[in-house]
Chains A and B, each alone.
Chain A
Amino acid sequence: AQTVTQSQPEMSVQEAETVTLSCTYDTSESDYYLFWYKQPPSRQMILVIRQEAYKQQNATENRFSVNFQKAAKSFSLKISDSQLGDAAMYFCAYRSYNNDMRFGAGTRLTVKP
């Protein structure tokens, strides 16, 4: 079974600075997808960014980018120019070929003004 590990329960960043959230996963599959979801206090899960395992190029969405290291099974999220609205729980997720999505335990990000 696939597992997703987020080793940082909490992180904080100064507004306008850059922060990196870590994620590792365990799988025997070669074809899969990785995601970062954001969950603000409203608890609505919002997709931040996605990465296809077959693509070597790291995904980027505006201020959000990933560092995908397939051999190391690592998938970190970098948030640049952090904003107060970025404060939330961030979940790393793995979606297997059979479409079952697994989540990590989450990282709570605090943005300091």
Chain B
Amino acid sequence: DTGVSQDPRHKITKRGQNVTFRCDPISEHNRLYWYRQTLGQGPEFLTYFQNEAQLEKSRLLSNRFSAERPKGSFSTLEIQRTEQGDSAMYLCASSLPRGLGATNEKLFFGSGTQLSVL
């Protein structure tokens, strides 16, 4: 178990550019979550997948944001036409489905991708 990995760790971009982040969940986890966290705040839910299906999207996820999980394994989060307000830490987490074991209710988080939009 290598944990949840996210790439890149840091991304600096100019306003208006597109960026894409990748998340590799723990291999046996079929649920994958994206959160956004600004400094001094708790993580805000963006979206989550069960396998390749995107089951829920937050209103925070504007039409400039798109997330995919094409094969039910890794996921990508793309932000188009970035704005300075998009600057944040983007966290990915994974978990087992509910009801499959004593530890399945907890989310395992990656280290995040810190985005800075100049």
Contacts and interface: CB of A to CB of B under 8 A. Distances in A.
Contacts of A52: 105
A66 to B, nearest CB: 14
Contacts, number: 54
Task: Please classify how large the interface on chain B is, using the bins under 10, 10 to 19, 20 to 34, 35 or more.
Answer: 20 to 34
Contacts of B45: 100-102
Interface in A59-106: 91, 93, 95, 97-106
Interface residues of chain B: helix, strand, loop or mixed (majority): strand
A46 B56 CA distance: 24
Interface of B: 31, 33, 35, 37, 40-45, 48, 56, 89, 91, 93, 95, 98, 105-107, 109, 111-112
Given A45-B91, A91-B42, 8 more contacts: A6-B42, A33-B105, A35-B106, A91-B43, A100-B48, A101-B107, A106-B40, A106-B41
